[in-house]
Amino acid sequence: MIGVFAIQGGFAAHLKTLEKLGVTGREVRRADQLADCDGLILPGGESTTMLKLIKAFDLKSALDQFVAAGRPVLGTCAGAILVSERVIHPEQESLGWVPATIERNAYGSQVDSFTENQSCPAWSLDEYHALFIRAPRFTQVGPETQVLTRLGEQITGVQYRNVTAITYHPELTDETRFHRAWLDHCVYST
Amino acid sequence: MKEVGTIELKTGLAEMLKGGVIMDVVTPDQARIAEDAGAVAVMALERVPADIRAQGGVARMSPPELVASIKESVSIPVMAKCRIGHFVEAQILESLGVDFIDESEVLTPADESNHIWKHDFKSPFVCGATNLAEALRRIGEGAALMRTKGEAGTGNVVEAVRHMRSIRKGIAELQAMDQASLMSAAKHMGAPFTLVRYVAEHGKLPVPNFAAGGIATPADAALMMQLGAESVFVGSGIFKSGDPLKRATAIVKATTHFQDPAVLAEVSKNLGEAMVGINISDIPQGELLAGRGW
């Protein structure tokens, strides 16, 4: 079972994608709901709102333990902001699991949002459709952080140990290949 | 190939606002309070609906300098309202880089027959609806997000409840119909057939559906969420209350944990004065906002 962090944001679309793949998903709003999850998706949404709610309901230690135990996490858009060590534009706190710097709203406001194809050679994924919605971008990554996807020269997807982070939304398309690959490579790999 | 302004990008932003609270603000300071409280977006207004209602006169789009200053003061999405049918106000808001445009009955309508053709814009639009047919007409015109058309500025949630229940009932009725009945349903509803068929097949609108109008307490927000709203707009309810930051924070928490009465009880404690509120039956028929648009 895959948990989808549902305190705010685009959790419904991830759950729908998991359903299409025949994988059970669960909305996670409380720490105890993490217990039997094989992996966790942090969806897009507003990272500021999520941070407030993580604090207000004291969820940080449970999330930290989940990651420290080596269980896989996928952060998309706001989720990628949450997992990055340093956040700029503006500076804000984060969960800080991935040695990387990420810039919020890096491409502008909603009128600048765009769709573009992405490919992920490390996971043998040919071009798939991706939505960049008020998207962030990685401006710097640590030496041990693996780059998974790029948009031109810009880094749009990274992996560090059991945490994967992408700045875009594969879950808002009809395709399921990205989620399938994450499940195969990071969650149910043998 | 790079594309911008597609309907999937528009509804995509609406997806990201789910489980959140969008708050009306009239100054950059209020916008920062809203962001601090955990709002997922702010609606930049010159006057909150309660004041528009009290002061009367023609209510128009907010001044561009106000929208721009609010946009500069926060990192979350900024929405702004234009009048129903006033596509030039919408063009101006789009050029200001507003993240969502609300074609709103709270402002004085500019066109008695036509809503804006929203497909022409890169900015996504949110529109209000009192029932399913109205929602499908707006979606047909290109709305990327729907909301109820509860009586803004009243602090009275009864109309939003009516609209949400009406939309749910309409969806259930379409789902129960056989294929042959759907064309007739579309004819009677005055709604686009393809959208009628979509709803019958999927049991939901093709875009997210939020609640708006008269929400004043954490319990109001949770009520709308339990009735099927995917997020809530709170207008006058916050900054017309005794302690805006506290109330705003409580409504944010209630929207996340809308199914957890223990959390709702906890966050509802010691919030200070709620806005006074108005009974719908005390409002003269001609001053009801839900009747604006069609």
Cβ neighbours for B54, distance < 8 A, ≥ 6 positions apart: B153
Print burial letters for B13-43: b (CB count within 10 Å at least 16), e (below 16): bbbbbbbbbbbbbbebebbebbbebbbbbbb
Q: To the nearest whole number, what is the mean pLDDT of chain B?
A: 96
Q: What is the largest CA-CA distance in chain B?
A: 56
How far apart (Å, rounded) are the C-alpha atoms in residues B84 and B76? 25
**pLDDT tens string A43-77:** 999 999 999 999 999 999 999 999 999 999 999 99
* β partners of residue A100: A141
H or E stretch at A106? none
Cβ neighbours for B90, distance < 8 A, ≥ 6 positions apart: B82, B101, B103, B116, B118, B121, B123, B125
- The pLDDT of residue A190: 66
Confidence of residue A125 (pLDDT cuts 50, 70, 90): very high
Using the predicted structure, report yes or no on whether residue B286 has a pLDDT greater than 90. no
* Active-site residue set of B: 81
**pLDDT tens string B78-111:** 999 999 999 999 999 999 999 999 999 999 999 9
How far apart (Å, rounded) are the C-alpha atoms in residues B183 and B180? 7
The mean per-residue pLDDT over the stretch A101-106 comes to: 98
> Which residues in chain A have Cβ-Cβ distances shorter than 8 Å to B100?
110
- The pLDDT of residue B86: 98
**Chain B interface includes A88 (CB < 8 A):** no
Question: Quick check: is A144 catalytic?
Answer: no
Q: To the nearest whole number, what is the mean pLDDT of chain A?
A: 97
State both tokens at B39.
Answer: 């709002």
CB atoms within 10 A of CB B125: 27
CB atoms within 10 A of CB B273: 10
The mean per-residue pLDDT over the stretch B206-217 comes to: 97
- The pLDDT of residue A67: 98
The mean per-residue pLDDT over the stretch B124-136 comes to: 98
* β partners of residue B21: B232
Using the predicted structure, report yes or no on whether residue B269 has a pLDDT greater than 90. yes
**pLDDT tens string B141-164:** 999 999 999 999 999 999 999 999
Say if CB B233 and CB B128 are below 8 A apart: no
- The pLDDT of residue A159: 98
**pLDDT tens string B113-124:** 999 999 999 999
> Which residues in chain A have Cβ-Cβ distances shorter than 8 Å to B249?
52, 56
Q: Do B35 and A104 touch (CB under 8 A)?
A: no
Whole-model pTM above 0.95? yes
- Find the closest chain B residue to A171 by CA distance: B12
Query: Strands, DSSP E only, in A111-181?
Result: 114-120, 125-132, 137-141, 146-151, 154-160, 163-166
